[in-house]
Amino acid sequence: MLKHLKILSIMFLAAMLILLIFSCRTDDTDYYYITDNLKRSELDIIYDQDTVTVDGVTWEILEAEDRGALLKNQYGGELETIEGRFIYLAFTIENNSDVEKALYDLRIVDDKGRVYTIANEAYGYMDSTTAGPRTVGGLALVPDEKREFNAVFDVPVDAVDLLIECTDLGFPPAEKVYIDLGV
C-alpha cells in the first residue's frame, strides 16, 4: 500500500511540474496579441472623428503614428519590435461623470479583429516629449478632470485599419465605442 502511495505521489508531482512548465511558456509570436477575436461588423465604430463620449467619459485622439520596427531612447538604448511595428497613441480622457474613474488598460483592434494590448517596455524607449507621467496604468480621474495619456502598441505589419477601444472606464466596461485611428 505504501509503495502504491509513493508511486501515485510521484506521478502527481510529475503532472503538476508538467502543467507548471506549460503554463509559464511564452510564445514570442503572440506576445501582445489577445486570442479573442472581435467581429468588426458587431463593433460600434466611429470614422472621421477624433472625439467620442462613452457614458460620461470623453476620449479625444491627439495623435496616432506608426513608429516603425525600432525605438531608440535618448541614452542609445534600442527596443526592437516583437510583432512587426510600433504604434504610438496620444489621447485625452475627461471624466464628465459624478464618480471617480480609472484607466487600467487599453486595447486596439486590427482589420482581422485581433486585439492588442500595450507594450509597456516601450515607454523606456520614447523621447522625453512623449514619455513620462502620461502613461496608462490605474491613474484615477476625479469628476470633471481631464488628463492626457500616451501608449505604444506592438502590432504585426499586416495589422491595418486600427481602432482604439474607448470605454466607460468601468471594470469591466459596460459600454465600448471604437475610433478609427487612420493607421
CATH code for the domain of 41: 2.60.40.1240
> Could you tell me the residue range of the domain that residue 148 belongs to?
34-180
Each residue's pLDDT tens digit, 45-100: 999 999 999 999 999 999 999 999 999 888 888 999 998 999 999 999 999 999 99
pLDDT band per the 50, 70, 90 thresholds, residue 171:
confident
Residue 9 lies in a domain: no
Q: Pick from 1-5, 30-34, 164-168 the range whose average pLDDT is largest.
A: 164-168
Each residue's pLDDT tens digit, 109-149: 999 999 999 998 887 787 655 544 455 666 789 999 999 98
Residue 80 lies in a domain: yes
Q: How far is residue 154 from each of residues 29, 114, 172, measured CA to CA in Å? A: 11, 12, 24
Backbone angles phi, psi at 29, to 5 degrees: -70, -20
Residue 8 lies in a domain: no
Question: Cβ contacts of residue 166 below 8 Å, gap of 6+?
Answer: 52, 54, 57, 59, 176, 177, 178, 179
Residue 100 lies in a domain: yes
Give dist(CA 170, CA 162) in Å, integer.
23
Residue 45 lies in a domain: yes
Cell digits of residue 83: 510583432
Peptide bond between residue 133 and the one before it cis (omega within 30 degrees of 0)? no
Residue 3 lies in a domain: no
Give dist(CA 128, CA 106) in Å, integer.
22
User: Cβ-count burial of 14 within 10 angstroms (0-12 exposed, 13-18 middle, 19+ buried)?
Assistant: exposed
What's the structural domain count of the chain?
Answer: 1
pTM, rounded to two decimals: 0.77
Residue 29 lies in a domain: no
Residue 73 lies in a domain: yes
The one-letter amino acid at 179: I
